[in-house]
């Protein structure tokens, strides 16, 4: 019995207690049998031609209305309905999992770093879209292929990423006689000397060495720049190396000049550290500057971005990436593909870049030519990146193991154990080796 019929029945006559119990039982049973799949199907009951898209609530608030506007424009042009659901970043894993399990939910979902690999069984191959976009605005960056071109098929369309150069307070650096250009040229050795001087001035440098995603994005580039890797291209664990030992030893020396609180930092802590004017350097995307500028804080004038220091084996920068995928169970696959192509048109993409205040970085070469980053002096080192871009887990295969290592914060914990003296350098590397092997075996 459907709900409308039940309602009609209830409206017709006086309901006895027994009947009420039957109705309650039926509704309760339906709710239980429907389970949470009922809750995660926002499009249910809406017209079949409603295209829904799940997106995180962007760090730069002006981006969300621009995305909504573009989706509404597309929907009006196609004569269909469309909706963007903004979800807190932290809630995305649970939401994706629920939709994949229930095989119901949005048509288009945003896929974070390794989500495309993890959910590829449930995603529509998008070779036609990826190839068309490459013809229009390509080529794709190698990072895009690494994350979304799996088993020779595109399972997601890399949309944008944000990366982690160093955010600096130019006033503090000025007190030790260094301008942005000097800081941009530093290697880790020179950086250590500067960090000591800044520490003595009461304006320390800081990077998260804690169980937070920013810690992954700060510490992997340090590891890579010393020539160390967690795994090789085939997923063999290679952390136990002289290069890792050198990176860990360096972190121990640098930690002496950082606030001890970095061991408990969350993703927003380094933002507060810089916005309060206390810190002089931290690896972060330009959200600190964007917030300061949007809120007209005086500190905005003092903020600049520079590349991460150079190590013996190069200069690296970590990236957080987003791709768009279409669930196999979507009833609107062709419309969803069309919407993705619309969002990646150069003119639309350009407006997204502007709305995000340059935060969003493109995976397609031609889209990188947008003048926004050249116009904002503070973003000149942000896009295009001077460092080699990679994601934590690179160069190993994109998939479950890399995701498990990333979410278990194995590398930040390795560094934390070393800098706090809980274990020697050799011991922490052996510990990390065991943890990595356990996850790459799983």
Partner 1 sequence: MVGPVGLVVFGLIAYPLFSALYMSLTDKAIGAAGSFVGLGNFAALLRDSIFLQALRNAALYTIVAVAIKAVAGLGLAVALAALGERAAVLRALLLLPWVVPVSITALAWWWMFDPMFSVINWVLRAIGLQDAGIPWLADSTWARVAVILVNVWRGLPFFATVFLAGLLSIPREFYEAAETDGAGPVQSFVRVTLPLMRPILSLVVLYSTVMTVADFEIIYILTRGGPLNRTHLFATYAFQVGLEGTLIGRGAAIVLWMFPVLVVASYLTLRIVRRGEEYG
Q: Contact between 403 and partner 1 (CB under 8 A)?
A: yes
119 binds partner 1 (CB under 8 A): yes
Per-residue binder mask for partner 1 (CB under 8 A), 165-204, x = binder? ----------------------------------------
For partner 1, the closer of residues 289 and 409 by Cβ is 409
Paired residues of 85 in beta bridges: 54
Please identify, among the stretches 29-37, 53-61, 137-145, 307-315, the one whose residues bind partner 1 according to the rule CB under 8 A. Answer: 29-37
- For position 155 contacting partner 1 by CB under 8 A, the verdict is no
Least separation in angstroms between residue 418's CB and partner 1 is 11
Taking the least distance from each CB to partner 1, the nearer of 304 and 435 is: 435
Which residue bears the tokens 């050799």? 426
Closest by Cα among 248, 242, 235, 146 to 439? 235
Residue from 70, 167, 210, 348 touching partner 1 (CB under 8 A): that is 210
- Residue with smaller CB distance to partner 1, 253 or 260: 260
Nearer to partner 1, 133 or 209 (CB): 209
Residue range at the interface with partner 1 (CB under 8 A); choices 140-148, 298-306, 380-388, 434-442: 434-442
260 interacts with partner 1 by CB under 8 A: yes
Nearest approach, Cβ of residue 413 and partner 1 (Å): 6
Nearer to partner 1, 65 or 264 (CB): 264
Q: Using the minimum distance from each CB to partner 1, give the nearer residue, 107 or 435.
A: 435
Among 60, 82, 87, 263, binds partner 1 (CB under 8 A): 263
Contacts (CB under 8 A) with partner 1, residues 88-107: 93-94, 96-97, 100-101
Q: Is residue 415 a contact point for partner 1 (CB under 8 A)?
A: no
Count residues near partner 1 (CB under 8 A): 50
The structure tokens listed for 351 are: 């407006």
Residue nearer to partner 1 on the CB measure, 21 or 76: 21
Stretch that binds partner 1, among 1-9, 61-69, 71-79, 116-124 (CB under 8 A): 116-124
Query: Per the structure block, which two tokens stand in for 277?
Result: 């004017």
Q: Which residue has the tokens 């969003």?
A: 360
Q: Which of 239, 246, 248, 262 binds partner 1 (CB under 8 A)?
A: 262
300 — phi, psi (to 5°)? -55, -35
Name which position in 55, 58, 83, 122 contacts partner 1 (CB under 8 A): 122
> ∠ at Cα 246 (205, 281), nearest 5°?
10
**276 is a contact residue toward partner 1 (CB under 8 A):** yes
Tokens standing for residue 28 = 């309760």
Nearer to partner 1 by C-beta: 93 or 138? 93
Binding region for partner 1 (CB under 8 A) out of 184-192, 267-275, 336-344, 374-382:
267-275
Residues that bind partner 1 (CB under 8 A): 21, 24-25, 28-29, 32-33, 35, 93-94, 96-97, 100-101, 118-119, 121-122, 210-212, 259-266, 269, 272-273, 276, 278, 400, 403-404, 407-409, 413, 416-417, 420, 422, 431, 434-435, 438, 442
């Amino acid at each position: 019995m459907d709900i409308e019929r039940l309602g009609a029945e209830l409206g017709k006559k006086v309901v006895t207690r027994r009947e009420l119990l039957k109705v309650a039982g039926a509704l309760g049973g339906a709710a239980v049998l429907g389970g949470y799949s009922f809750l995660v199907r926002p499009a249910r009951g809406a017209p079949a031609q409603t295209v829904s898209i799940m997106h995180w609530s962007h760090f730069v608030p002006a981006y969300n209305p621009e995305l909504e506007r573009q989706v509404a424009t597309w929907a009006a042009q196609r004569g269909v309905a469309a909706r963007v659901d903004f979800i807190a970043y932290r809630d995305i894993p649970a939401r994706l999992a629920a939709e994949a399990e229930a095989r119901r939910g949005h048509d288009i979902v945003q896929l974070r770093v390794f989500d495309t690999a993890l959910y590829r069984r449930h995603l529509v191959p998008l070779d036609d879209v990826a190839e068309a976009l490459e013809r229009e605005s390509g080529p794709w960056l190698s990072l895009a292929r690494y994350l979304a071109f799996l088993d020779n098929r595109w399972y997601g369309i890399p949309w944008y990423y944000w990366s982690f150069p160093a955010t600096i307070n130019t006033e503090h650096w000025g007190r030790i006689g260094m301008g942005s250009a000097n800081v941009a040229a530093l290697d880790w050795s020179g950086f250590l000397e500067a960090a000591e001087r800044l520490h003595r001035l009461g304006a320390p440098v800081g990077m998260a060495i804690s169980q937070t995603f920013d810690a992954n994005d700060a510490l992997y580039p340090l590891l890579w720049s010393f020539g160390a890797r967690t795994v090789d291209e085939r997923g063999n664990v290679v952390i136990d190396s002289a290069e890792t030992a050198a990176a860990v030893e360096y972190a121990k020396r640098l930690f002496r000049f950082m606030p001890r609180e970095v061991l408990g930092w969350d993703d927003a802590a380094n933002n507060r550290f810089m916005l309060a004017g206390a810190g002089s350097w931290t690896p972060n995307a330009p959200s600190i500057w964007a917030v300061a500028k949007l809120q007209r804080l005086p500190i905005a004038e003092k903020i600049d971005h520079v590349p991460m220091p150079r190590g013996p084996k190069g200069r690296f920068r970590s990236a957080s990436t987003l791709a768009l995928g279409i669930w196999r169970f979507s009833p609107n696959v062709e419309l969803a593909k069309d919407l993705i192509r619309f969002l990646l048109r150069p003119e639309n993409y350009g407006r997204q870049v502007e709305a995000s205040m340059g935060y969003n970085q493109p995976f397609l070469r031609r889209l990188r030519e947008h003048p926004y980053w050249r116009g904002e002096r503070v973003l000149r080192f942000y896009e295009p990146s001077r460092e080699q871009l990679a994601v934590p887990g690179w160069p190993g295969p994109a998939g479950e193991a890399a995701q498990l290592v990333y979410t278990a914060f194995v590398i930040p914990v390795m560094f934390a154990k070393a800098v706090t003296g809980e274990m020697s350098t050799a011991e922490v590397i052996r510990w990390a080796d065991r943890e990595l092997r356990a996850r790459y075996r799983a």
